[in-house]
Amino acid sequence: MNDAYKSSLTLGESKKLMLKYIDEYSIGGAVVSDADNQDYLLRHNALADAAQLQLARLFPLTRLHIINCRPLSEQLAAGGIGRSYVYPGKSWQLLADAAGAYYAELSGSGTFRVEALLGGSWQLLEEQVLGAVCGKVLAADISAPGASAVRLVVDAATPLLVQNAALYKYRYAADGVPPCRSYVEYRMPADFMRLHKLEVEGDGWRGREGLFTWQDPRTLILPGDIDAQLKLHYHAYPPKIGDDTADSYEIPQRPEVARLIPLKVAQLVIPTERAALAERLGQQFDAEVAQLQQLERSQEFASVQAVYRM
C-alpha cells in the first residue's frame, strides 16, 4: 500500500462510522455489541467496495508503470521480420553463431527442429512435427552450453510459410520471449483503469508520438524499433474489499476521500422503512463529493511563487 495514505481510514473504523451515521452505534450511552449489529456489519465490506470504486472514478488513485523499450534489432542474433515459403521436399534454415532463444510463426505441414553445433556435429535440441497448422507460434529459450552455433530447420511436407523467424542473442524468462514483429504489445498492470499522462525519455520517440495506440483498454501497442523509457502515470482500481478483508486494512485513498465511504455505505445499508434518513445521508454524500471536487479544481490552477527576502 502507498505509504502516503497510512493516516487514512481502516475498515474497522469505517464500520464504526457507518453505525454512527445510522444511529446504531450506541443506546442509552452504552455501545451496541457487534452481535446485535451483525446485519449491518456483514453487509459493510461489499457495499464499501462498491463505494470505493465509485470514488476512485471521481478521485483517482495515481500509480506509475515504467516500460523500457529497446529496438528489436538490438536483440537479434539472426533473422527478423519477413516471410519465406518452403515447398515439399525442401528445407529452410536460420543460423547464428550463438543464441539464447528463438521465435517463429509457421503455417503448413512439416517438421520444425532446433539444433546446436556441439563437438563439430549438429545435435537435436528440440523437434516438432507440424500437422496442417495455421499460424502456429513457436518460442522458447535454448539451452545448449558449449554450442558454437545454433540453427532453426524447417522441412516442408506441404507448402509451408515461415514468418518472422528469429534467433535472439539473449535468454528470457519463462514465456517471455519477445515476438519478432514490427510492433510490441505491452500489457498494463492488473489495477489499470485508464491512462493519466505519459512521459517519454529517449530520442527514439521524437516525431513518432502518433504511433502509440491501444489494442484494447489495457494493451498498449508501440513500434518494435522504439528506443525509449516510457513512464505511464495511470489511474488505478483500488484493491478489492472482500468479506474476509481484515478490519485493520487501510483504505488506499486520501483521508478526506476515504471517509466518504462509510457515509455512502450508511445510505445503502439502512432499512427501507428509514427512507428519510437514507435520503438525508445521500444528500450529505453528494454535497461533500461536490465540495471536494471544487477544491481539486481550484488546486489545478494553483501555482508556486518564489518569494525572496533580503
- What pLDDT score does 267 carry? 95
Q: Is the dihedral of CA 251, 253, 256, 260 positive or negative?
A: negative
- State the cell numbers at 270: 439502512
- What pLDDT score does 178 carry? 86
- What pLDDT score does 174 carry? 65
| Residue 277 banded pLDDT, cuts 50, 70, 90 | very high
- What pLDDT score does 252 carry? 93
Choice between 138 and 94, residue whose per-residue pLDDT is larger: 94
- The whole-number average pLDDT for the span 170-182 is 84
Kind plus residue range of the DSSP H or E element containing 212 = none
Sheet of strand 192-201: strand arrangement: 61-69, 228-236, 192-201
What is the Cα–Cα distance from 145 to 142, expressed in whole angstroms?
9
One-letter identity of residue 222: L
- The whole-number average pLDDT for the span 149-178 is 90
Q: Per residue in 182-219, pLDDT tens?
A: 888 899 999 999 999 888 887 666 666 667 788 898 99
Q: Is the dihedral of CA 94, 104, 68, 220 positive or negative?
A: positive
| Residue 302 banded pLDDT, cuts 50, 70, 90 | low
Angle, CA 125 vertex, CA 123 and CA 131 arms, to 5°? 115
β-pairing verdict for 219-223 and 213-216: antiparallel
Q: Is the pLDDT of residue 67 over 80?
A: yes
Cβ-based neighbour number of residue 208 at 10 Å: 14
- What pLDDT score does 310 carry? 39
DSSP state of 263: H
Of the listed ranges 7-21, 97-111, 198-212, 259-273, the least confidently predicted one is 198-212
- What pLDDT score does 208 carry? 63
